[in-house]
C-alpha cells in the first residue's frame, strides 16, 4: 500500500528520495514504514513471550522420518512424539 502511495507521489513530483523536508512525501513514507515495522516487531515479541514455554519443546521431542516418495502417496513428514523430550534423532 505504501509502495503504491510512493509511486503516485513520485508521478506527481511530490516525492524526492532522501528529502526529509515536510513538503516531500519521503518523510511521511519513512515514518509510516518505521511505525509499521516497529509495530510488527512489537507484536512478534508479544507472541514469543506468550508462547515461549510451548516453543521451548520444539522439534526435539518429535521423531521425524524423511518422507518416502511414491507417485501414489502424498509426500509428508511422518512424525511421532518421542517419550524422552531430550532425545533427538537428528
Q: In Å, what is the CA distance from 81 to each residue of 22, 56, 68, 85, 90?
A: 58, 15, 19, 9, 14
Is pLDDT at 71 greater than 90 in this prediction?
Answer: no
Nearest to 62 by CA among 41, 47, 46, 84: 84
Domain range list for the chain? 2-81
Contact between 60 and 88 (Cβ < 8 Å):
yes
Whole-model pTM above 0.85?
no
DSSP H helical segments within 13-82, as ranges? Answer: 25-57
pLDDT in tens, 5-50: 889 988 988 888 888 888 888 889 999 999 999 999 999 999 999 9
d(CA 73, CA 69): 7
Amino acid at each position: 500500500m505504501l509502495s503504491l502511495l510512493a509511486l503516485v507521489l513520485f508521478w506527481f513530483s511530490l516525492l524526492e528520495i532522501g528529502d526529509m523536508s515536510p513538503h516531500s512525501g519521503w518523510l511521511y513514507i519513512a515514518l509510516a514504514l518505521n511505525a509499521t515495522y516497529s509495530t510488527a516487531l512489537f507484536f512478534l515479541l508479544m507472541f514469543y513471550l506468550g508462547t515461549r514455554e510451548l516453543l521451548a519443546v520444539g522439534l526435539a521431542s518429535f521423531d521425524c522420518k524423511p518422507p518416502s516418495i511414491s507417485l501414489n502417496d502424498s509426500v509428508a513428514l511422518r512424525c511421532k512424539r518421542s517419550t524422552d523430550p531430550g532425545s533427538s534423532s537428528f
